[in-house]
Structure 1
Amino acid sequence: MTYTDGIVKPKTKRSKRFLQNREPKLTENIKNAMIMKGGNTTETVTQALKDIYALKKPNAVLYKKKNIVRPFEDSTSLEFFSKKNDASLFLFGSHNKKRPNNLIFGRLFDYHVLDMIELGIEKFTSLKDIKLSKCPEGTKPVLVFAGEAFDVDNEYKRLKSVLLDFFRGPTVSSVRLAGLEHVLHFTALDGKIYMRSYKVLLKKSGCRTPRIELEEIGPSFDFILRRTHLASDDLYKTANRQPKALKPKKKKNISHDAFGTKFGRVHMQKQNLDKLQTRKMKGLRKRRGEKAAEQQQQQEGEEQEQASTSPKKQKTDQ
């Protein structure tokens, strides 16, 4: 690849495909995550990074070597690794005396840090500590958020958005019932965030709909919120902007309710039900006597009309 006037021009077809894959698209690729540890870590932080990597696979890259990085002070190295791996999410683990067992969840926009939220691990149960069958790799999880703070506090709102981006997986058009195997539950209570991982068990219920039970498979975390670095409202709005081609076009007289049911309003002219063509049945046919009675009534009505109009004509003639 050559650089001329700030424009990268590919020399081979392989480099051309590489650059085309990095170009902006209407439907972006699945968000990849970088998972790395700092210069000083503990077994708790290392195992936590491995377990989260197991939940995020295959859309994640795990760095095994130590990286002496301080994201809140200098994020240039994170931005460099992001551009190198085409990753818009990162998870950084570190440990020091002031902030023990530290995890930093973050995301980038246009290869620049957008949001960073620092969480401290107070209690941790690993995947290997729970001896149960696990969900297959790449399973799309069901994300559940409980707690008033996720809807009221601005920092918790942004944390919810970051966690949704991090764990949501690929976008799919439909999901079958048997595919709902994994549940990630986040609870905000008394200044702490509780993360639990469950496997969905579909059991017999005596009817068509199965009985659902949740079995904890790990990992489980008890987090405490520490430092945050949030993007400004204008930058956050720019990052969430969608192309015009993806915005659904408004259709007249069509609406949806809270459950997604589609309703349509149809405008019709007033119909004359007497002339409405119905199904021809023998039981509905008129008999000869009824037809003769109707014809006689019509004749009498016409004669009455003529009698009411005839005196007026005589007056006008005179």
Structure 2
Amino acid sequence: MEFFSKKSDSSLFIFGSHNKKRPHNLIIGRMFDYHVLDMIELGIEKFNGLRDFKNSKSAEGSKPMLIFAGDLFDLDNDHKRLKNLLIDFFRGPTVPNVRLGGLEIVLHFAAFGGKIFMRSYKVLLKKSGCRTPRIELEEMGPSFNFVLRRTHLASDDLYKKSLKQPKALKAKKKKNISQDVFGTTYGRIHMEKQDLGKLQTRKMKGLKRRKGEIKVVPDEAESSPKKAKEQ
């Protein structure tokens, strides 16, 4: 399994089997550095496919919204890891923006009574008389009733190590750069106070001083008008 994971550069895998001891068995897992990190075995007790629901389906490639219900997903360690694994499986590619019309699928996972119920819904946008549409959910399949059988989980240290993001992938924060609600980029420039007396201006013949011309200081002219008159 690790060989094929490295060969195909795949970090997630799923394996289905059926035998007398473990009927309708499903194993999902993931890799870290091309070695098995987590594996969770689920038993399928009930299944309804897409053909069992006679309604319209969502478009292929739609990004689903994931909902997890039940205290076990927050309290039990196995269910916590299963929740994290399911998010890796169904979250899809990372995108900066999603339009409202593109939110078509809801995947709902509920943990109750030692079982895990998975339901798939299509989002219907109805007229509401205002700008925000009214939302309705219509089950479109597939649906599963799982039971948690066996787990093979990584240690806490290895799990924390797998969560570390490489420095090369971290977005560097750009100082003094901001954007407004319309996406326009603004930059702030910090400059020292300029001395206008040393400012280089364009040289013109009319501004040149003639020989023998005496420079008059404004302060001295105001303080001693007689002296300025004599000059």
Q: TM-score, normalised by structure 1?
A: 0.53
Which of 109, 122, 125 aligns to 2:32? It is 109
Structure-2 separation of matches of 1:80 and 1:128:
36
% same residue: 77
SS in 2 for 1:178: helix
Structure-2 separation of matches of 1:153 and 1:247:
31
Aligned partner letter, 2:85: V
The corresponding residue for 1:193 is 116
The corresponding residue for 1:208 is 131
SS in 2 for 1:87: coil
Structure number with greater CO (CA < 8 Å, separation at least 6) is: 2
Residues 156 and 112 from structure 1, CA distance in 2 versus in 1: closer, same or farther, beyond 3 angstroms?
same
The corresponding residue for 2:144 is 221
Q: TM-score, normalised by structure 2?
A: 0.73
Aligned partner letter, 2:134: R
Structure-1 separation of matches of 2:97 and 2:66:
16
Stretches of structure 1 that go unaligned for 5 or more consecutive residues are 1-77, 253-318
Structure-1 separation of matches of 2:105 and 2:174:
37
The corresponding residue for 2:63 is 140
CA deviations 1:70-112 (Å, max 9, x no partner) are: xxxxxxxx11221222111011000111111000010011111
Which of 98, 111, 120 aligns to 1:175? It is 98
Structure-1 separation of matches of 2:7 and 2:173:
40
CA displacement at 1:247 relative to structure 2: 4.4
The RMSD of aligned alpha carbons is 1.6
CA displacement at 1:119 relative to structure 2: 0.4
Aligned pair count reads 175
CA displacement at 1:251 relative to structure 2: 10
Structure-2 separation of matches of 1:162 and 1:243:
20
Residues 98 and 140 from structure 1, CA distance in 2 versus in 1: closer, same or farther, beyond 3 angstroms?
same
SS in 2 for 1:128: helix
SS in 1 for 2:107: strand
The corresponding residue for 1:45 is none
